[in-house]
Amino acid sequence: MVGRWGYYFILPGYVLFVLFSLIPMFQAFMLSFYDAKLTTQTFIGVKNYAAIFKDPVFIKTLWNTAIYTIIIVPAHIVISLFIAVVLSSCSNKAQSFYRAAFYLPNVLGGVIVASVWLYIFHPLYGMLNYFVTLLGASPISWLSAPGIAKYSLSFVVVTWTIGQSVIIFLAGMGGIPQELYEAAYIDGSTDCKNFFYITLPLLRPVTSFVLTTQLIGIFQLWEVVYMLTEGGPANSTSSLVFYIYKTAFERGKYGAASAQGMILLVIIMLMTLVSLRLTREKTE
């Protein structure tokens, strides 16, 4: 009887999960087999799925999302880990201040952060082009040039999301026994060797968590794209979720958008499984 109380306490969370996640997911799966408009639904089988892989814009947005992942995830992990290592040598008060400072963009949200960067990237009166002109160069179209816009968005995402990972890495390093470092120093080790042979191996579970959550987050990227470029120019910055949003709420094809969402779900599940398998090696 005592053991049942644990299930009673977690029951509200499971009820909310079923109501707001599991049931909508099942409904979206069923809707993907229909030609669903705002007022009508016609069963068409797997035609929505067949049309996905014939849609060049969907393939392009999928490729864009893959590029975002290749650019953002490694940069995010390296930068956040570097910042965490630097902050780990600071006092507790300094760490508290910098943790709050780096985490503030996460609290503000992607829409507010993107609105700030929209002014920074502005081609006429943006702060970034102001410094570019001071160096004698011509203003740059940060958000409208196809070869630059994707990297501008990636930079915004990295600066917006690193705060949470910095805190996670700091917590992970705080759990490493200091006796390991002391023993290594006695044996003549250096800070660089300690980082690669002690810190990094013992941070493997933390790194696995950060990698997995970032992969999921990048494949769900849309608010920054919506605010800064709206997928342009010529869909060169459109992400997969942003294209699903346009399919549903601009073109009114809810069945097709549901099918695209199911494809996205499968991709995220596969990416998560691969990430966990590659980093599940136990730390000894």
Question: What's the pLDDT band for 53 if we cut at 50, 70, 90?
Answer: confident
DSSP states of 210-233 = HHHHHHHHHHT--HHHHHHTTT-S
Residue with tokens 């007022």: 39
Asked if 58 contacts 52 with a C-beta cutoff of 8 angstroms, the reply is: yes
**Domains by residue range for the chain, with CATH:** 56-278 (1.10.3720.10)
Let me know the angle formed at the C-alpha of 192 by 184 and 201, rounded to the nearest 5 degrees: 70
The predicted pLDDT at position 136 comes to 85
Closest by Cα among 229, 224, 215, 228 to 69: 215
| Residue range 17-34, pLDDT digits in tens | 999 889 999 999 999 999
Q: What percent of the chain has pLDDT over 70?
A: 97
With H, G, I as helix, E, B as strand and everything else as coil, classify residue 41.
strand
| Ranges 148-157, 162-171, 181-190: which has the least confidence | 181-190
Question: What's the pLDDT band for 178 if we cut at 50, 70, 90?
Answer: confident
- How far is Cα 102 from Cα 91, in angstroms, rounded to an integer? 16
* 238, pLDDT greater than 90: yes
pTM listed for this prediction: 0.88
With H, G, I as helix, E, B as strand and everything else as coil, classify residue 36.
strand
Q: What percent of the chain has pLDDT over 90?
A: 40
What ranges in 89-221 are assigned the alpha helix state H?
A: 92-108, 110-120, 127-134, 146-174, 178-186, 191-194, 200-202, 204-219
Question: What's the pLDDT band for 281 if we cut at 50, 70, 90?
Answer: low
Question: What's the pLDDT band for 272 if we cut at 50, 70, 90?
Answer: confident
Mean pLDDT of 180-191: 86
Reading the block at residue 3, the tokens are 């053991």
* 137, pLDDT greater than 60: yes
Q: Residues 6 or more apart from 233 whose CB is under 8 A from it?
A: 144, 145, 146, 149
- How far is Cα 281 from Cα 181, in angstroms, rounded to an integer? 22
The predicted pLDDT at position 125 comes to 84
